[in-house]
Amino acid sequence: MEKIKMMTPIVEMDGDEMARILWKMVKDELIHPYVELKSEYFDLGLENRNETADQVTVDAANATKKYGVAVKCATITPNAARMKEYNLKEMWKSPNGTIRAILDGTVFRTPIIVKGIEPYVRSWKKPITIARHAYGDVYKSVEMDIQGPGKAKLIFTGEDGTEIQETVFEFKGPGVLQGMHNLDKSIASFARSCFNYALDIRQDLWFAAKDTISKKYDHTFKDIFDEIFNAQYKEKFEQAGITYFYTLIDDAIARVMKSEGGFIWACKNYDGDVMSDMVSSAFGSLAMMTSVLVSPDGNYEYEAAHGTVQRHYYKYLKGEKTSTNSVAILFAWTGALRKRGELDGIEALKQFADRMEQAAIRTIESGKMTNDLAVITSLENVQTLDSAEFIKAVRASYESLL
Ligand code: NAP
Ligand code: MG
């Protein structure tokens, strides 16, 4: 059979540990045999980040801006232990943080749903995608311990010297204090990424905050979303048959729990941190969660939501068998190839992505799965496969679909 041809390369960012091992296996078994892969390769493995003083991460992000579509493997974010383990020159920053800062994007996380791995919330039938604003609020706040009585003020001094001030609180005794901010520009980028992505995948968009209590801060978020929606997206949403609505965060929670799923839930930074972990655990498994970074000007970076799976890697290094789930890594590849197919008008590439995803889902639904799923599935007659066997089973399932 002839391999599918590509026009524009995708940006490929390799990573670390077990994720890197699976990355190669997925490519060799499930991509290369069927697609004449065009990719611009960047090795974001920690050794190479250290050798290039992290320039490779910046180059990879810039290449994503140039080509529009990237696929990324999980990477180690260094800490003190990793400094020693890899003999690092510096504690390099999180690659995802660096890439996000350059692309100015929003991260959308979506669970992969299969029969036999039931969500804990009974009404959920379709995936819920969480969009998390990735700038500011409590993540860029300043804090103070207040030791005793005194007055706390919020002061803004304009460049021209004008001052606005507001009393935060008159302390009678010890307490704590916090100041945080956000930027219209960042909120607008977030809104645009959300509206574009909703149109892309044709799903409703929900946004929730607490503007009844936070009459300036959260209200600004609500207003910016409204303005951009009404000016640029309202008609497009109508044409696509989808809706956008804003509601209070507590109302959103109640609705989410009673919903069927099948929508995008845009969250402020902290809400997104908390809710994405709730949604992913309620859907069953971190290994079945995909993630895509979408920039407001339409660049896409696909990845698995899980990390490098360090514990499995140490087993692998000792020559032991691992049963590590490669589904989210595979879906990162199919996501990127499908998007490339859409942008370049290559029907065969889109079809390949759809079929390969279907093959992975069928494999699991037929009872063949890795251990992380085997321990939670409601299916009977389950065959627990190791990392390589599972990928081979997906290949067999794909071949049977041809
Ligand atoms: P992790 O790699 O996601 O793994 C946490 C645990 O979840 C694993 O030990 C494993 O549980 C289970 N798990 C995750 N993915 C799995 C898969 N594909 N198949 C089977 N089980 C899976 O998170 P971590 O251990 O906290 O972090 C390890 C490294 O990854 C860190 O250096 C961190 O910086 C990095 N990280 C990178 C990214 C990214 O690049 N996007 C994201 C998160 C973390 P059991 O051990 O119980 O089997
Ligand atoms: Mg978190």
Q: Which ligand is nearest to the CA of 132?
A: 2
**Does ligand 1 lie within 6 Å of residue 75's CB atom?**
yes
pLDDT digits (tens, 9 = 90+) for 109-141: 999 999 999 899 999 999 999 999 988 898 888
The pLDDT of 218-238, averaged and rounded, is 97
User: Would you call 157 exposed, middle or buried from its count of C-beta atoms within 10 A (0-12, 13-18, 19+)?
Assistant: exposed
Q: Which ligand is nearest to the CA of 312?
A: 1
Instruction: Give every CB contact of residue 185 below 8 A, 6+ residues apart in sequence.
Output: none
**Does ligand 1 lie within 6 Å of residue 13's CB atom?**
no
Each domain of the chain, given as residue ranges in start order, spans 1-107+289-402, 118-136+181-283, 142-179
Q: 1-107+289-402, superfamily in CATH?
A: Isopropylmalate Dehydrogenase (3.40.718.10)
Q: What is the pTM of this model?
A: 0.91
Using the predicted structure, report yes or no on whether residue 277 has a pLDDT greater than 90: no
Using the predicted structure, report yes or no on whether residue 342 has a pLDDT greater than 90: yes
Diameter of the chain measured on Cα atoms: 79
**Does ligand 1 lie within 6 Å of residue 371's CB atom?**
no
Identify the pLDDT of residue 354: 97
pLDDT digits (tens, 9 = 90+) for 367-391: 999 999 999 999 999 999 999 999 9
Cβ–Cβ contacts within 10 Å for residue 108, how many?
25
Residues with CB under 5 A from ligand 2 (ion): 273
**Does ligand 1 lie within 6 Å of residue 74's CB atom?**
yes
Count, in order, helices (H) and strands (E) of the chain.
15, 18
∠ CA(265), CA(19), CA(42), 5° rounding? 90
Determine which residue's CA is closest to atom 46 belonging to ligand 1.
311
**Does ligand 1 lie within 6 Å of residue 76's CB atom?**
yes
Pull the structure tokens for residue 83: 């400094």
What spacing in Å lies between the alpha carbon of 361 and ligand 2's midpoint?
27
CA-to-CA distance for 56 and 92, rounded, in angstroms? 12
Identify the pLDDT of residue 276: 86
What would be the CATH architecture of the domain defined by 118-136+181-283? Answer: Alpha-Beta Complex (3.90)
pLDDT confidence bin for 174, thresholds 50/70/90: very high
**Does ligand 1 lie within 6 Å of residue 309's CB atom?**
yes
Mean pLDDT taken over the chain = 95
Closest ligand 1 atom to Cα of 82: 32
Pseudo-torsion of CA 332, 367, 29, 70, nearest 10°? 0
- The better pLDDT of the pair 335, 287 is held by 335
Using the predicted structure, report yes or no on whether residue 293 has a pLDDT greater than 90: yes
7: left (phi over 0), alpha (psi -120 to 50) or beta: alpha
